[in-house]
Amino acid sequence: MTKATLSSFAVLLCASAFGACAAPVGSEEFTDTDYERESVGETQQALFHLCENVRIEVENRRVDGDGATPAIKVTALSFYDSDRDRWNKQSVRNRIIGYDDDYPFVEDLENADGHTITRWRVYYKYDLGNGWSSERNQELNTADEECEDDMTVELSVTG
């Protein structure tokens, strides 16, 4: 088919399927008051029930059996949503945290807005001196807290 034939076909298809492809700019058919305007973030939050900008401060207080205090590399975080009776795992950018240091992960927690979070898991590897250990996790009980935008959670990895 030629370009002209394809264009004609597209216009014909559009007109027959939708009655018209576009209303004139000044048309009374569509007005600003017909639609409630939302930001993309509000729409996304409504679709996924996001608990936005949750600050999760992870502190490295891990001490090995021999007294060594290695750095840890946090690979993921998860939280227990008691309203849904399930764990939700959040992948995070691998972040190395030295002993006695902390790092604030700022995350949007999907399907958690207004839900009660009772426990957290920090997934991490620790520095062996010649590479990283296999992934481990530490489960931390926290105060039962309703997830809300901009909240802060403090977690301390100890073992």
pLDDT tens-digit series, residues 77-115:
999 999 999 999 988 999 999 999 999 999 999 889 999
Tokens of 85: 């009776």
User: Would you mind telling me the total number of residues written for the chain in this entry?
Assistant: 159
Which are the contacts of 52, defined by CB distance < 8 A and separation ≥ 6? Answer: 41, 45, 108, 113, 149, 150
Residue in this structure with the two tokens 């639609």, named with its chain if needed: 35
Contact criterion met (CB below 8 Å) for 115 and 83: yes
Is the four-CA dihedral 94, 126, 132, 120 of positive or negative sign?
A: negative
Could you tell me how many helices (H) and strands (E) the chain has, helices first? 2, 7
Taking the complete model, does pTM exceed 0.75, yes or no? no
Quick: pLDDT tens for 16-50. 444 444 444 444 554 444 444 444 544 444 445 78
Summary mean pLDDT of the chain = 80
% of the chain exceeding 90 in pLDDT: 62
